[in-house]
Amino acid sequence: MISIEEKLKEQHTKEDLCLLINVILDTTKVIDYKVNQGALSNILGATSEVNIQGETQKKLDVICNQLLKDSLKSCGLVRTIASEEEDFVVEGHSGAPYIVAFDPLDGSSNIDINGQIGTIFTIYQARNDVASNSEEQFSQAGHAQVCAGYVLYSASTMLAITTTGPTSFYTLDKNSQAYVLTTDSIELPTQTNEFSVNMANSACWSQGFNNYINDLVSSDNRRGRRFNMRWNGAMVADIHRVLSRGGIFCYPTHFDTPQPSAKLRLLYEANPMAFLIENAGGKAYTESTRILDLKPDYIHQRVAVIMGSASEVDFCLGYLD
C-alpha cells in the first residue's frame, strides 16, 4: 500500500509542494467527516448569503470554504488564495512560493440529497512580477499548474491528483486516515459510448452542438452505435466517471441570454479538470480552444467545457465550426 506522501516523494516532488498538498488533503479529511455526518452535524440547507456568482450559498459551501481558507492562510506556503465562494482574492503569506484556487464544495445542489459532491483545487507558482495580493497572480495559463486535483465524497472518498506527471486515484482509508494509491497512471480510453450533458439545456445550445447530441442518440448515427447518457449534476462526479472508464463531459455555451454565456469557472473548475484529463491521455477544449492555453481575465471567468476521451472530443469539435 502506497500513501500519497510516499508517492509524491517517489516522484521527487519538491518538499514545500508536498507540504502544501498535505495541508489541502488534511483539510479534505475534516470536510469528509462533516459530509459523512450530514444532518447529524446540522450542516445541511442554505444560508441567507448569495455569492458573487449570484448563487445562494449552502451551509456546507461556507463551512468548507472557511476550513480551506484557514488552513491555507496559516500554513505559510500560500501567497494568494482564490475561491468560488470569495468575491475577491484572499491574502495569504507575503513572499510564499505558491498560489491556490479551489471550489470548496462542487455540486452544491447534491448536498441535501446525499448525492456526490467534491472539492476541486489547483496550485500554481506565485508570480513575482505582480502584486502579492492581486487577481493577476492567477492570470496564468492552465498548463502552468504545478498540481491539480479533486476529492470526491461518495461511497468511498477518493482523490484524483496530478503534479504534472500522470493522473492517479487514491482512496481514503478511514481507519488510518491515509490516502492510499488505488489506480496508478490512469489511461483514458480514446473511444467511448457514454456522454454527460444536462439535456434540459438543449434549447439554449448552438445548432452545431444540438446536431452532435442528436447524432449520438439517433439509431442510425454516424458511428453505428448508440450512446448512453449519465449526468450526476456535480462536475467532480461526472469527471470521475470519465477518468474511471472514459466518456465525454460537456457544458457548452448558452445562447438564450443577450450575450452568449457559460456556466463552469475556468480557474477552479475547468483548468484543474483539464489538467487531470490531459495527464490521463484525454483532451479538454472550450468550443474552439485548448482549455489549458487560456489565462483567466478575472478569477470567476466562465468557459464552455468539452472534455474526455480524445477521439470523442475531436468528433464533437467537428460539429462546432
Q: Name 163's Cβ contacts closer than 8 Å, sequence gap at least 6.
A: 8, 11, 13, 17, 21, 146, 147
Pick the piece of the chain touching ligand AHM (CB under 6 A) from 6-14, 67-75, 228-236, 284-292: 228-236
The region of 27-35, 102-110, 244-252, 280-288 touching Mg ion under the rule CB under 5 A is 102-110
55 binds, among ligand AHM, Mg ion, none (CB under 5 to 8 A by kind): ligand AHM
Residue 68 in contact with ligand AHM, rule: CB under 6 A: no
Q: Which does 233 bind (CB under 5 to 8 A by kind): ligand AHM, Mg ion, none?
A: ligand AHM
Choose between 106 and 194: whose C-beta lies nearer to Mg ion: 106
**Does 71 interact with ligand AHM (rule: CB under 6 A)?**
no
- CB within 8 Å of 316: residues ≥ 6 apart: 209, 212, 248, 250, 306
| 103: contact with Mg ion by CB under 5 A | yes
Instruction: Out of 61, 86, 106, 135, point to the residue binding Mg ion (CB under 5 A).
Output: 106
Residue among 253, 256, 305, 259 nearest 282 (CA):
305
The nearest distance, CB 16 to ligand AHM, in angstroms, is 29
Closest residue (Cβ) to ligand AHM? Answer: 235
Contacts of 176 by beta carbon, 8 Å cutoff, 6+ apart: none
- Beta strand residue intervals within the chain, DSSP E: 46-50, 56-58, 78-83, 90-91, 98-106, 117-125, 147-153, 157-162, 168-173, 178-183, 194-196, 228-229, 248-251, 264-265, 283-285, 302-303, 305-308
Neighbouring CB atoms inside 10 A of 165's CB total 13
Q: CA-to-CA distance for 301 and 68, rounded, in angstroms?
A: 21
- Strand 228-229 and strand 78-83: the pairing is unpaired
- 143: cell is 498548463
198 binds ligand AHM (CB under 6 A): yes
Binding ligand AHM (rule: CB under 6 A), the pick from 38, 76, 233, 281 is 233
Piece of the chain touching ligand AHM by CB under 6 A; list 103-111, 148-156, 164-172, 275-283: 103-111
Residues in 234-263 that interact with ligand AHM by CB under 6 A: 234-235, 251, 263
Which residues of the shown chain bind Mg ion in the complex (CB under 5 A)?
Answer: 103, 106
Which residues of the shown chain bind ligand AHM in the complex (CB under 6 A)?
Answer: 55, 84, 103, 106-108, 198, 233-235, 251, 263
Known binding residues for substrate are: 106-109, 198, 263
Known binding residues for Mg(2+) are: 84, 103, 105-106, 269
